Amino acid sequence: MDNKAVEDFMIESAEARGKAEGEYTKSIEVAKNMLSADSDPDFISKVTGYLLLKSTN
């Protein structure tokens, strides 16, 4: 691979990682907002794909 190809690969990898992190952050925000709005935790789990655990606090 030449330097340009390596640079392009690194940029594409960084962009993909940034996009994935942004999507994860947004989905956590949505789940928190749904909890704040008293949505059913089972429904939130189905919508987001996250397993919600009950807090002991």
Look at residue 16 and tell me if it is in a domain.
Answer: yes
Q: What is the number of domains present in the chain?
A: 1
- Over residues 38-57, the pLDDT tens digits come to 999 999 999 888 888 777 66
Asked if the structure places residue 53 within a domain, the reply is no
57 belongs to a structural domain: no
The reply to whether 26 falls in a domain is yes
Q: The pTM is what? A: 0.68
- Average pLDDT score, the chain: 91
Residue 56 pLDDT? 66
The verdict on residue 55 lying in a domain is no
Please write the tens of the pLDDT for every residue from 27-39.
999 999 999 999 9
Q: Report yes or no on 39 lying in a domain.
A: yes
- pLDDT at residue 8, as a whole number: 94
Asked, for residue 27, whether it belongs to a domain, the answer is: yes
What is the C-alpha to C-alpha distance for residues 30 and 45, in angstroms, rounded to an integer? 11
Asked whether residue 54 is domain-assigned, the answer is no
CB 27 within 8 A of CB 48: yes
